[in-house]
Structure 1
């Protein structure tokens, strides 16, 4: 991805954060299609694209979870409403070269593949005229069902491969009683569920700590986990972004609300904004790492 692409997506993320919207911390929409997806391909967006589109949908109050490029809208018989502002999304591609070092589109002739990222702009279906959103709300299961999503959350924890030691014991916590991941012991320490306002909050925090545990050297060996980082520095902020984003992926998988994971959210927001302004690649890298961490947990 060139610098322009990095800057575009980072600027939009900062815009959301400065308006008090952390796109990885929000209630699920009423709409059954909870994850942002491309209308033409029906594929769910991944990585930072997921969070940018999810956050902008919430910020702008869009009812649809579907997005399209200008061309896709036109090809489908729709029209982007005049004055609409698109959202940048990034995608992965390869530049292929033959044995003479020349560009080629033929994979059989390619002897070198150079990875690169590009960006395009997409519009929410609410910004497009002439195309009906096929997603129906009337068939949805109620989102306040505390049985199915909680069981789904517990299944994710139980089925995690190579999982760390897990202690749900108030006596093993620090004097402040905070949940934590202890890298030196490779152990997630959680307060008992009755310390939380509800089961959904318990599992959302649990996921956050499990994501941290994937950074252990026996798993994904991620810098920032047990490497002496401190609150507010770039390494710490990146690891917190990874944990928040990764927890959001898992909450989405379990269909639970992750809008109230952390206290001191204002301090965290400022820390992230500062880190993002200092490194335009940080958001993309954190989202990619979060995707890998959540996929590791899901097996």
Structure 2
């Protein structure tokens, strides 16, 4: 059976080979990164968040809203003729409670099974619709002061031990701390925060937090896969708090590893996105009222 993600994977691999990771959105003109929204205003998550954010930024859309063909018809704004869709991913599981249904429709007894299916579907930005209501074209209003305060609240609430000094940003697993160069070593404070977010994703994977290890499945490529999780995760958290990803730097050395991983294991992209989303949820929880129950760093 063909892989429904094959066209998307081929495009991502081609971009990686050109040195352009698609989760590093090409924000221009001071645009504020934001999570893409469904037609009902709910945010996309996981792979769809960074895939559609990239598609929108690359094509110059300012609206965060995305619609299926039917959703566009439902608001009386059909998709414009010749509009080029973007791909979104649908991944679901369904538990069958011990009943097996044959092709003839007969029901028999059996063990409970978890069925998984994945497919891609076409979505269109609000700016590709005909006579689209203005509320979808403009998107939710964002107060930059409130947004900045919320961003600081999220980053400040992460209880990682932080050591400032040196010229390398890294998570030191043995000491369970994040080491960061001083802010003045970066082009701007936003680059410092983006790099910190990247290292915080690594920090979330410690054994006494999310216990994220990939040695058995990825062997020598495990370190590169963890870096892929951190790359996607830092881009995802940036969308949530309006933090632009840092320009690709020394991590360019991982590009070849990521290409090989995705070619060898097509499912690795969804696996990395899933781990990244769970890491982002873990970090965001520290700034929520229930965060008092979160385990603190040693």
Q: In the alignment, which residue of structure 1 is the partner of 2:283? A: 297
Instruction: Spell out, residue by residue over 1:65-106, the C-alpha distance to the aligned partner (whole angstroms, 9 max, x if none).
Output: 2111112222322322333332222223344535441289xx
| Alpha-carbon separation, structure 2, partners of 1:266 and 1:209 | 16
**Which sections of structure 1, spanning at least 5 residues, go unmatched?**
105-109
| Alpha-carbon separation, structure 2, partners of 1:91 and 1:70 | 15
Instruction: Tell me, yes or no, if the aligned pair for 1:200 and 1:257 is still in contact at 8 Å.
Output: yes
Following superposition, the deviation at residue 33 of structure 1 comes to 8.3
> Aligned match of 1:155 in 153, 156, 163?
153
Q: In the alignment, which residue of structure 2 is the partner of 1:107? A: none
| Alpha-carbon separation, structure 1, partners of 2:16 and 2:82 | 23
Instruction: Tell me, yes or no, if the aligned pair for 2:33 and 2:238 is still in contact at 8 Å.
Output: no
Instruction: Tell me, yes or no, if the aligned pair for 2:97 and 2:113 is still in contact at 8 Å.
Output: yes
Matches within 5 A, 1:30-41: 34-39=34-39, 41=40
Following superposition, the deviation at residue 43 of structure 1 comes to 1.3
Q: In the alignment, which residue of structure 1 is the partner of 2:269? A: 283
Following superposition, the deviation at residue 120 of structure 1 comes to 1.8
**Which sections of structure 2, spanning at least 5 residues, go unmatched?**
106-110, 286-298
Instruction: Tell me, yes or no, if the aligned pair for 1:178 and 1:191 is still in contact at 8 Å.
Output: yes
Instruction: Tell me, yes or no, if the aligned pair for 2:87 and 2:123 is still in contact at 8 Å.
Output: yes
Partner SS, residue 6 of structure 2: helix
Instruction: Spell out, residue by residue over 1:191-214, the C-alpha distance to the aligned partner (whole angstroms, 9 max, x if none).
Output: 122222221111111111111111
Instruction: Tell me, yes or no, if the aligned pair for 1:5 and 1:90 is still in contact at 8 Å.
Output: no
Q: In the alignment, which residue of structure 1 is the partner of 2:200? A: 210
Q: In the alignment, which residue of structure 2 is the partner of 1:223? A: 213
Q: Which moved more, 1:127-136 or 1:209-218?
A: 127-136
Instruction: Tell me, yes or no, if the aligned pair for 2:67 and 2:123 is still in contact at 8 Å.
Output: yes
Matches within 5 A, 1:221-260: 221-224=211-214, 234-260=221-247
Matched, 1:200 2:159: no
Q: In the alignment, which residue of structure 1 is the partner of 2:8? A: 9
Between structures 1 and 2, the one with greater helix share: 2
Matched, 1:167 2:168: no
Q: In the alignment, which residue of structure 2 is the partner of 1:60? A: 59
Q: Which moved more, 1:281-290 or 1:75-84?
A: 75-84
| Alpha-carbon separation, structure 2, partners of 1:138 and 1:95 | 34
TM-score normalized by the length of structure 2: 0.78
Instruction: Tell me, yes or no, if the aligned pair for 2:170 and 2:199 is still in contact at 8 Å.
Output: yes
